[in-house]
Amino acid sequence: MSIKITLPDNSVKEFDAGITTEGVAKAIANSLAKKAVAGKFNAQLIALNQPISEDGALEIITKDSADGLNVLRQTGAFALAAAIKALHPEVKLGQGEATDDGFFYDTDRQEGQLTVDQLPAISDKINALVKANAPIEAVSMSKADAKKAFADEPYKLELIDAAAGDTINGYQLGDFFDFEEAVVLPSLKDLKHFTLLSVAGAYWQGKSSNPMLQRIYATAYFKEADLEADAKQRQEARDRDHRAIGRDLDLFFVDPKAGSGLPYWMPNGATIRRVIERYIIDKELADGYEHVYTPVLANLDLYKTSGHWAHYREDMFPPMDMGDGEMLELRPMNCPSHIQIYNHHIRSYRELPLRIAELGMMHRYEKSGALSGLQRVREMTLNDGHTFVALDQVQDEFKKILRLIMDVYEDFNISDYTFRLSYRDPKNTEKYFDDDEMWTRSQSMLKGAMDDLGLDYYEAEGEAAFYGPKLDIQTKTALGNEETMSTIQLDFMLPERFDLTYVGKDGQEHRPVMIHRGIVGTMERFIAYLTEIYKGAFPTWLAPKQVEIIPVSLDEHLDYAKLIETEMRKAGLRVELDARNEKMGYKIREAQTQKIPYTVVVGEKEVNSAAVSVRRYGESEAEEMPANMFVDSVKAEIKNYSRDGKQKRGAGKNL
C-alpha cells in the first residue's frame, strides 16, 4: 500500500505506508536526513522514526529550527530523569519539559531533596548514557498497565489519571521508562552539548496548595559554540540581575517573614527612587499636570463601577468588611481615584485639558511563585496620570504626552524602543467592554494620531486594556527582552460609567474623553530596569553616592577632607567621607566595588594646592584638579543628566 506525502513546497511524493520522517528525508537528500530530528505530520509533531501510514502533509524538522531545538531539549529532560533514577532510585519523578531557554525536571525525595552538589554526578551519568547511544523506543500501554509500572510513583499516577484516552504513551531507554507525550529523539547521540544549571523549589504543577518539589534546570544545544554563547549570556544575566546588585549595593531587600513581594528601600535605593520621583514630578508640573494625593483604599463599589472588580478580581486583594456594611478595597489602579478628583467640581471647557498626576501606590494580589525582586511585587507606586479632554483635543494631547515620554527617555538614555498599538480582540467579550462603536471609534482615533505623527508602529490584537485601546512603548531590557515601559490609553468607557461631564461653550453638558498614561511605569520595575541596564553603575545624576572622599592620612589630611566634603554638600552633591582606620588602597577598591562615580583622594599635595585627585569609576588613572573646578564639573554633569558634556538633543521636538 502506498501513501501520498505533500511536502512544504507543495510537491507530492508517493511512499510505502509505514515510512518514517527519516525515510522521507533520506529519499530527498542524505544531507537533509543528517539534519532531521523529527517530523510535523498534518501540523502535528511526530518522532523521527514514527511510521506514517496515511496521506498527509509532512514538514521535516531539522536541527537548525526552533522545533528541532525543542525536541533536543525534551530529550534532555528524558535523559535527566533516566540519570536521576539510575543514581537515586528512591527519587520520585514529577514532570519534565522543554522551555524557551532549556529544560527542567521536577523531583521529590523524602530523605532530602537533591542539591546542586549532586549535579556533577548526574551530568556524568547523562554523558555515560549519551556515549552508550542506546536506542530510545516509543512504548504504548493501557492505563492499567501504566499504573502497575508506576505503582511507586505518586506524581506519575496523578498524570496517568488525568490523561485523556485509555492508552499511555512513553519512551523506553534500557530499563528506564517514562510516561511522555512529547516527541524525543530516537537516541541520545545528539545530546552532547548540555549543562545542568541549578536547582530550585517548585510547586507540583504550579499550584501553591500542592507539595513543593525540587526542580533541576538545564539547557542543551546541537552545537558547542551555541552552548558556550548561552553560558556567556547567562553569566551576563547573573551579573546584571537587579536582585543581586540590589543586595551588593544595599539598595533594597524583601523579607518573606515580613511579607513576600513587599520591598524595603534602604538609604541607597531610597535615594535613587527619590531622585527619579522628584525628576518626574518636576517634569509633569512643567508640562501642565496638577499633582495630587489620593487614598490607597476605596469603597469596593468604586471598582465595581469602573469594571475593575469584574475584569481584574483575581488580581485584587480580598475586600475588607468594616462591619457597618462598608467594604474597603486596596486599590489595584489609580484611575477611579483621579475620576473622583475630576468629579469633585463642576468642570468647564475652559479647564480642559485637565491633567491630573500622582505617584500612586497600588496593590496587586500576586501569587508567591510569580514574585521576583522589584519586577513583580504586591505593592507598587505607579507614575500615573490622567487627562480629561474634549473630543477635538485628543490628538494634540496625545502628541503632547508622547513628546513628554520621549523627552524623559532622552534624559535616561533610553533609545531602544518601538511603538505598539494594542487593540481589543473582538471575539473576547468577557475581557473587553462590549461596545463595538466605542472600540471602533477609539481605535481609529489612536491609529489616526500615530499616522499623523508619522511614527512607525505595529498593531497587536488582544493587548488592549478592558476599557480602551492603547499605545504601548516597548523597550529592550539589558538582556534583550521586550517589556512595556510606557502607555497612552484612550478611554470612552469610564467617563460614561462615572457620568463625567463638562459645561461646553454652548452651556450644555458634554462627555469628556479620558486619556490614561504612564511614563516610566512603576518605580519598582523602572528601578529594576535601570539597575540592570546600568549594571549597578548608575550615572552621576542618579547615583546614591556621587563622590567618595578618602584622606591619605587621617592625622594630617582629615581636616581638609572635611572642608571639601562640606563644600560639596553645600553644592548639592551626595558625598561621603571615608574616615575609617583602613588602608587607602582598601578604601579605593571598596569605592570601586560600590560603583561610586567619583573617588577623590586628598593628601599633602592636594592640601597645599587646594586640589583633589579624582578617579572616575572604571578608570585606573587619577587626575588632579582644583577642588572648586571638580565641584563645578560634577554639578554640570548632573544638570546635563550625565551626558558627558553633550547638549540635550531635544527629543521629540519634531512631533
Annotated binding site for Zn(2+): 335, 386, 516
Nearest Cα to 634, choosing from 504, 526, 553, 541?
A: 541
Whether omega for the bond prior to residue 512 falls within 30 degrees of 0, making it cis, is no
* Cβ(326)–Cβ(357) below 8 Å: no
With cell 579624582, the residue in question is 614
Beta bridge partners of 135: 187
Buried b (16+ CB within 10 A) or exposed e, 15-27: beeebbbbbbbee
Beta bridge partners of 253: 264
Paired sense of beta strands 290-291 and 354-363, if any: parallel
Task: Measure the CA–CA gap between 451 and 655, rounded to whole angstroms.
Answer: 11
Instruction: Report the 10 Å Cβ neighbour count for 647.
Output: 7
Nearest Cα to 563, choosing from 504, 481, 631?
A: 631
What phi, psi does 306 have (nearest 5°)? -70, -25
* Cβ(155)–Cβ(204) below 8 Å: yes
What phi, psi does 394 have (nearest 5°)? -60, -50
46-to-16, 36, 40, 219 alpha-carbon distances in Å:
18, 12, 6, 22
Task: Measure the CA–CA gap between 224 and 192, rounded to whole angstroms.
Answer: 8
Task: Measure the CA–CA gap between 369 and 206, rounded to whole angstroms.
Answer: 8
* Cβ(635)–Cβ(573) below 8 Å: yes
* Cβ(423)–Cβ(461) below 8 Å: yes
**Residues 170, 173, 174, CA angle at the centre, nearest 5°?**
130
Task: Measure the CA–CA gap between 397 and 388, rounded to whole angstroms.
Answer: 10
Nearest Cα to 519, choosing from 398, 399, 404?
A: 404
Residue 169 per-residue DSSP state: E
Annotated binding site: 335, 386, 516
Beta bridge partners of 417: 475
Quick one: CA dihedral 391, 397, 402, 408, positive or negative? negative
What phi, psi does 581 have (nearest 5°)? -85, 65
List strand residue ranges (DSSP E) for 303-404, in order. Answer: 320-321, 327-330, 354-363, 379-389
Nearest Cα to 564, choosing from 619, 629, 515?
A: 629
Nearest Cα to 118, choosing from 192, 191, 198?
A: 198
Please name the residues in contact with 29: beta carbons below 8 A apart, sequence gap of 6 or more: none
* Cβ(149)–Cβ(141) below 8 Å: yes
Kind plus residue range of the DSSP H or E element containing 404: helix 394-411
Torsion angle defined by CA atoms of residues 45, 50, 54 and 56, in that order, rounded to the nearest 10 degrees = 30
* Cβ(227)–Cβ(219) below 8 Å: yes
